[in-house]
Structure 1
Amino acid sequence: MDTIMSTASVRSQLLSLQHLTMEELIEKWKMLFHKDPPQYGEVFMRRRLAHRIQELAYGGLSDEAVRKINSINGPVFRTHTGLRIGTVIVKTWHDTKYEVRVCKEGFEWQGQIYSSLSAVARMITGTNRNGFTFFGIKDKLND
């Protein structure tokens, strides 16, 4: 198969992802990754599947490239919440801007480490709140 045909095939597969149901996306995931998918939302699954289709068609990064990237940036670590360590979450509430950093131990705000984002939201608002909802990131993690 020549490059033009394989490029057209990849393009066709990428475009078809937009019309798949969640059940079809799960089946596509199993076919491309040979395992069940994590609990991702449709948007993230489409993005990850698109990446995988291109990776299989054109090749992924070489081991040397991966080592080089990791040596420059260090590997990307995520907390149990799915948020990347080092991410800064910003929320403006009652005309005050709050910044919380995701860290390995939990969430850092004003030099203190909190075990949950809800604990930070409680400190800011004085009431019990779901931290992901308060900071407006719950829906984004599910996409």
Structure 2
Amino acid sequence: MNAKTRDAIAVLEDMSVGQLRERYLEVFGEIARTRNKQFLRKRVAWRIQALAEGDLSARARRRAEEIANDADLRIRAPRQVTTTLNTERMVTATVQPGRDPRLPMPGTVLKRRYKGQVIRAMVLDNGFECGGEVFESLSALATHITGTRWNGFQFFGLRQKGGTHEG
């Protein structure tokens, strides 16, 4: 990188977001849609360097477009996952959509001391059982216990690593 390019990039460090947006307009010829200072600084620096020293070769650009066109973009996880264990046998497993990874396995008993009582709730496949009642979510259960709205994960301490539960 030559000294002129290095100096032009160094100046970006002291610019405000407004100044970076103006510089973005100068080098790209369009208005920046972001106000993220770090992103603007990196993009403008990249463009200054690309203009000074040359951009990607035409061959590299074509190859990148080919790769992008061939890529199968997956927006959602597949409902079934098929894996081959060996050449004779394939295993298909259904992926459970929507199960929160913070939740312990069904059958786990969550416990919490609240107003002098120990509250125990069993994790079910599709809800939580406490005191003979089944609740759709931990938040619904926590709200039932306290009488006010609570985040169920916070109430039972599941936001911390490991949470509060019995095996």
| TM-score after normalising by structure 2 | 0.43
Structure with max Cα Rg: 2
Which structure has more helix as a fraction of its residues? 1
Which structure has more strand as a fraction of its residues? 2
| TM-score after normalising by structure 1 | 0.50
